[in-house]
A and B are shown apart, each in its own frame.
Chain A
Amino acid sequence: MTVTVNRYKCGYCGACVSVCPMAALELVETWIEINNSCNDCNTCVNICPIGAIESVKE
């Protein structure tokens, strides 16, 4: 399980990075990279001010 970031929506603000308990997210200049440690807690989905993050249910 993981999340996806819609990079056409993302405003590269880093809010999601700051709340991720698994350090799964990284802001690389203008996009978010996601590693495989996401535990699907959904915190970033609710924090993103513009709603650019979706959780991916497999």
Chain B
Amino acid sequence: MKDKYDVIVVGAGPAGSSVATTASKAGLDVLLIEKRQEIGDPVRCAEGADKKGIKRHIKPDPRWIAAEVKGSRIFAPDGTKLQISEELFGAEVGYVLERKIFDRALAEQAVSSGAEVIVKTSATGLIRKNKQVTGIHARSIGESVDIKAKIVVGADGVESKVGRFAGINTTLAPKDIETCAQFLVSGIEVDEYCQFYLGNNIAPGGYAWVFPKGRGIANVGIGVLGSRSDKGMPVKLLSNFVKHHFPTGKIIEMVLGAVPASGPIEKTIADGFMLAGDSAHQSDPLTGGGILNALDAGVMAGTVAASCIEKDDVSEKALMEYERQWRETIGKKISKALVVKEKLVTLTDEQFNTLAHSIKGKCDSTMGVFDIVRALFRANPKLLWEFRNLIK
């Protein structure tokens, strides 16, 4: 480790590795730090992602693809089934990944692009000159160190601290977070579909999921809206769900975690500083999918970092280009998804059932999330009046 870099990236998840790869490829001197001693472990993810999206960022490798899926099924509280084959929930025609290996492969890609990676190293503060961020204070394998950089990128996930260090309030209100538990269940029958279960008794303000990982195993999990959760609720509800749906299944791994569901935050930049991925709340508030948005935002942040450093201007004003790019793309998508989420969390089980019945048999293999939203709105304009501006 040197004492000075062009860019320091904090956090080696998908967002951080993507920033580091992009910035290194553009010729910058990049340091990627990760607090954990093992990148990607423990997992905090259901591991579903759209194939096309993943291929934009890394060459598919059987080492990190657990299974391929053909589509999704959604179950209303009364059991009514909707089957969709494309572009739903980010898990359509998709992969179920092995994130422990996938995240490490992304970090390897950063390293082979020229970045330096250092693990068991945590950012504990920011160095500032006047208002400008000029580096980080860190704890590296127990030792305090200061490292300078022209730009610091926070990619430190849902528990982000560096955003707050930079004066950006990234605290999530309970209504803006899904708190989750997941078991890896083995010895069960799985096919090539991701399944989603809705209902206020199953997952208040969220949903339960079954993502197949092949060979009789699946990620079975539950997300509960933070404002409707109480002490330990996700694990309790998940245990009931697994007992009910997979009475003979054996639990071989447990995952806990949370995903931001706030929609776009006000600000993701400061002088010499950018935020990307979950730390910037760029995950989809409806589905909780955040891998692809993190990877995409990472490319934008890395590209803008390179052009700003080349022009020798890393002011907030210059970094605005990153803010503009992600709002135009990811921002628009997650704003729409937020409108749908905010409505769905108010529905009763009866209303969910009515909605499912209204489009049952009308879903086909070409429908994406917003095609379904459109079909639901057409069939239930009064109930879903809030969706009127989404369907253009």
Binding site for B on A (CB under 8 A): 11-15, 17-21, 23, 26-29, 43, 45-53
Contacts and interface: CB of A to CB of B under 8 A. Distances in A.
Contact of A23 (B44, B164, B231): B164
The 9 closest A-B pairs by CB, nearest first: A51-B232, A14-B159, A15-B258, A11-B256, A17-B159, A49-B234, A13-B256, A51-B231, A13-B257
Given A18-B160, A51-B235, 6 more contacts: A14-B158, A15-B179, A17-B158, A43-B174, A49-B256, A50-B256
Interface in B148-195: 157-161, 164, 170-174, 177, 179-181
B184 to A, nearest CB: 14
28 contacts: A11-B42, A13-B256, A13-B257, A13-B258, A14-B157, A14-B159, A14-B257, A15-B158, A17-B158, A18-B160, A19-B171, A19-B177, A20-B171, A28-B122, A45-B231, A46-B174, A46-B226, A46-B231, A47-B174, A48-B232, A49-B181, A49-B224, A49-B232, A49-B234, A49-B235, A49-B257, A51-B235, A53-B231
Contacts of A21: 171
Interface of B: 35-37, 42, 44, 120, 122, 157-161, 164, 170-174, 177, 179-181, 224, 226, 229-235, 254-258, 260
A46 B174 CA distance: 9
Contact of A49 (B37, B164, B170, B180): B180
A37 B297 CA distance: 33
Contacts, number: 96
Contacts of A15: 158-159, 177, 179, 256-258
B253 to A, nearest CB: 11
Contacts of A53: 231
Contacts of A28: 35, 122
Given A18-B172, A18-B177, A21-B171, A47 B258 contact: yes
Contacts of B122: 28-29
A57 to B, nearest CB: 15
Given A15-B158, A23-B161, A26-B161, A49 B171 contact: no
Nearest to A12: B42
B231 A29 contact: no
Contacts of B260: 18
Contact of B258 (A14, A26, A43, A45): A14
Contacts of B42: 11-13
A13 B44 contact: yes
Contacts of B235: 49-51
Contacts of B170: 18
Nearest to A28: B122
B161 A19 contact: no
Contacts of B226: 19, 46-47
Contacts of A18: 158-160, 170-172, 177, 258, 260
A19 B157 CA distance: 13
Contacts of B181: 49-50
Contacts of B44: 13-14
Contacts of B256: 11, 13, 15, 49-50
Nearest to A23: B164
A21 B172 CA distance: 8
B283 to A, nearest CB: 12
Contact of B232 (A17, A29, A50): A50
Contacts of B257: 13-15, 49
Among the interface residues A14, A23, A45, which one has the most CB atoms of the partner chain B within 10 A? A14
A1 to B, nearest CB: 17
A52 B180 CA distance: 14
Nearest to B238: A49
